[in-house]
């Protein structure tokens, strides 16, 4: 019975997240390279910034695969684990 309840909760949770799983791409230029399409990111102050998939998947410091996202004064930035940990 616990497995059935767990499966039902998993399905309900998955369905609730379904709309956010879409690509979310918009025809706006990337704030870093002007490439289109990009994805909208909401900053804590409510401003929307746009970053393409290439810029959001590449560490802005060393060029490795980005695994962390954080907010800067200009927008959002992306970094690998090593560079992100070095910022702290």
CB 28, CB 19: distance < 8 Å: no
pTM score, whole prediction: 0.68
Give the 3-state secondary structure of 55-76: HHCECCCCCCECCEEEECCCCE
The owner of tokens 């927008």 is 75
Q: What is the pLDDT of residue 10?
A: 41
What are the angstrom distances between the C-alpha of 70 and each of 17, 40, 56? 22, 14, 11
* pLDDT value for 23: 52
Alpha-carbon distance of 70 to 27, in angstroms, equals 23
Give the whole-angstrom CA distance, residue 13 versus residue 17: 6
**What is the per-residue pLDDT for 1?**
55
Q: What is the pLDDT along the chain (88 residues), one digit of tens a residue?
A: 545 444 444 444 433 333 333 358 999 999 999 999 999 999 999 999 999 999 999 999 999 999 999 998 878 999 999 999 998 6
How confident is the model at residue 73, as a pLDDT? 83
Q: Is 58 helix (H, G, I), strand (E, B) or coil?
A: strand
């Amino acid at each position: 019975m616990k497995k059935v309840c767990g499966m039902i909760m998993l399905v309900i949770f998955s369905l609730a997240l379904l709309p956010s799983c879409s690509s979310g791409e918009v025809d706006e230029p990337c704030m870093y390279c002007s490439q289109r399409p990009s994805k909208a990111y909401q900053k804590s102050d409510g401003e929307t910034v746009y970053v393409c998939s290439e810029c959001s998947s590449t560490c802005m410091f060393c060029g490795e695969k980005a695994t962390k996202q954080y907010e800067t004064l200009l927008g959002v930035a992306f970094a690998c684990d090593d560079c992100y940990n070095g910022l702290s």
